[in-house]
Amino acid sequence: MPGNGSISVRQLASKLGISTATVSRALNNHPSVAPQTRARVLELADATGYMPRVGQRFSTNIGLVYPSHPVTPEFGSFENALLSGIMRGLAEHRYDLSLIEVDRDRADDESYTQFFRRKGVRGVIVRTIGPDARLAEAIADEGFPSITVADRSDQANVNFICSDSTRDSQRAVDHLIQLGHRRIALVVHTVLDSDHLDRIDGYNRALDLHGINRDESLVLRQPAGMEGGRLALAQMLAHDEPPTAVFCTNPLTTVGLLHSCLEQGIVVPEQLSVIGFDDSDTRYHTFPRYTSVCQDAVQFGYEASRWLTRSLEGIEGGSLRVHRPTNLSFNQSTGPAPAQPVRVAAATRASRPDRIREPRPAAAEPERFTGV
């Protein structure tokens, strides 16, 4: 465990027998410092837990860390809700938030601690995306104050707050079984993070509990997004023994699947029951509104930022490893199992394109990134 951060540049310099100027340059990645000198400085800085101050004061900045380019529009509402919660949690101790993308300007030979020091942040909230959980573990291994949000790790030194959807996933599938469904499809993302493993787990447990055979051919892996939902429905309809219900473990995928149902004239829930997943309000945007397992991203952000700042202020001690249970929101997308499942035949019969096609005029060329 590093020291308490009360080391100064001058102390580092005197311990190393060099000048403060060289120490400062080494810490800031100036090109004019010899590699072995920089290595010695960084090593000692790490060992002593050096933390820069402005004047005599520590900074009060928290970093929200993304592995690479953050918050692309495709992330959907989760990031918004998360940010909203984070800002609320930081308000108590007047911390500020900086957005940091690790890939952008972290030097290759620079540790995460050094990188964050250089950015002037005291602690970070790590937003790992997909399978990049290594980032959170690497930061934790360096002992830098951090907490991961909406993901988890088996490493004991990783603080996190994540959702545990196992229970509600099981309840969701159980609900379908109670309604008489026996063949229930599961749609998961192509890459499986801990969240998706929970959902698979809950799905399996519900089936096992009712003595329903697991059918691997009903577990569909599709990329998260509208198109994934569309493809999943197509797979279901083409199945030899089609399911009468589906548990779709991603919000946008659920939207895509329900959208495809409407396109193909499949009535939900009369012909097909659907349970989905939601981070915010997406379940109310579809027709019908879908029953879903819901996680509260605002709450995640709030608790993570609050714990981190309290921890830095010395109010909170120890670690935080929280599994926050999800909620189950019942809406209009589930109903009794139909006598016969919908099949591809119904869909193909209805696929003659007698629609009125909209004119597609030569649309204005989309603006590209041009300098102004």
- Scan residues 57-86 and list those touching DNA (CB under 7 A): 57
Q: Which is nearer to DNA, 17 or 359 (CB)?
A: 17
Q: Which of 50, 78, 144, 160 binds a second copy (CB under 8 A)?
A: 78
* The length of the chain, given as a count of residues: 372
**Which segment (202-210, 211-219, 237-245, 354-362) binds a second copy by CB under 8 A?**
354-362
Q: Does 339 bind a second copy (CB under 8 A)?
A: no
Q: How far is the CB of 27 from DNA (least distance, A)?
A: 5
Q: What angle do the packed helices 9-16 and 20-27 form, to 10 degrees?
A: 110
Q: Does 4 bind DNA (CB under 7 A)?
A: no
Counting residues that bind DNA (by CB under 7 A) gives 28
What is the spatial distance between Cα 356 and Cα 343, in angstroms, rounded to a whole number? 26
Q: Does 328 bind a second copy (CB under 8 A)?
A: yes
**Which segment (15-23, 99-107, 123-131, 321-329) binds DNA by CB under 7 A?**
15-23
Q: Which is nearer to DNA, 7 or 304 (CB)?
A: 7
Q: Does 164 bind a second copy (CB under 8 A)?
A: no
**Which segment (13-21, 259-267, 294-302, 319-327) binds DNA by CB under 7 A?**
13-21
Q: Which of 24, 59, 271, 319 binds DNA (CB under 7 A)?
A: 24
**Which segment (21-29, 87-95, 241-249, 318-326) binds DNA by CB under 7 A?**
21-29
Q: Does 52 bind DNA (CB under 7 A)?
A: yes
What is the spatial distance between Cα 48 and Cα 1, in angstroms, rounded to a whole number? 9
Q: Which of 1, 2, 3, 11 binds DNA (CB under 7 A)?
A: 11
Q: Which is nearer to a second copy, 213 or 360 (CB)?
A: 360
What is the spatial distance between Cα 117 and Cα 119, in angstroms, rounded to a whole number? 5
Q: Does 20 bind DNA (CB under 7 A)?
A: yes
Beta bridge partners of 129: none
Q: Does 172 bind DNA (CB under 7 A)?
A: no
Q: How far is the CB of 39 from DNA (least distance, A)?
A: 10
Cβ atoms of 136 and 325 closer than 8 Å: no
Counting residues that bind a second copy (by CB under 8 A) gives 108
Q: Which of 2, 15, 37, 119 binds DNA (CB under 7 A)?
A: 37
> N- to C-terminal Cα distance for the chain?
49
Q: How far is the CB of 215 from a second copy (least distance, A)?
A: 25
- Type of residue numbered 232: A
Distance of CA 200 to the CA centre of its chain: 17
Q: Does 263 bind a second copy (CB under 8 A)?
A: yes
Q: Does 319 bind a second copy (CB under 8 A)?
A: no
- Scan residues 289-308 and list those touching a second copy (CB under 8 A): 291, 295-299, 302-303, 306-307
**Which segment (11-19, 122-130, 284-292, 364-372) binds DNA by CB under 7 A?**
11-19
Q: Which of 98, 157, 204, 319 binds a second copy (CB under 8 A)?
A: 98
Q: Which of 114, 166, 264, 309 binds a second copy (CB under 8 A)?
A: 264
What would the 3-class secondary structure string for the chain be? CCCCCCCCHHHHHHHHCCCHHHHHHHHCCCCCCCHHHHHHHHHHHHHHCCCCEECCEECCEEEEEECCCCCCHHHCHHHHHHHHHHHHHHHCCCCEEEEEEHHHHCCCCCCHHHHHHHHCCCEEEECCCCCCCHHHHHHHHCCCCEEEECCCCCCCCCCEEEEECHHHHHHHHHHHHHCCCCCEEEEECCCCCHHHHHHHHHHHHHHHHCCCCCCHHHEEECCCCHHHHHHHHHHHHCCCCCCCEEEECCHHHHHHHHHHHHHHCCCCCCCCEEEEEECCCHHHCCCCCCEEEECCHHHHHHHHHHHHHHHHCCCCCCCCEEEEECEEECCCCCCCCCCCCCCHHHHHHCCCCCCCCCCCCCCCCCCCCCCC
Q: How far is the CB of 100 from a second copy (least distance, A)?
A: 7
- Write out the residues near DNA by the rule CB under 7 A: 8-11, 17-22, 24-25, 27-28, 30-35, 37, 50, 52-57
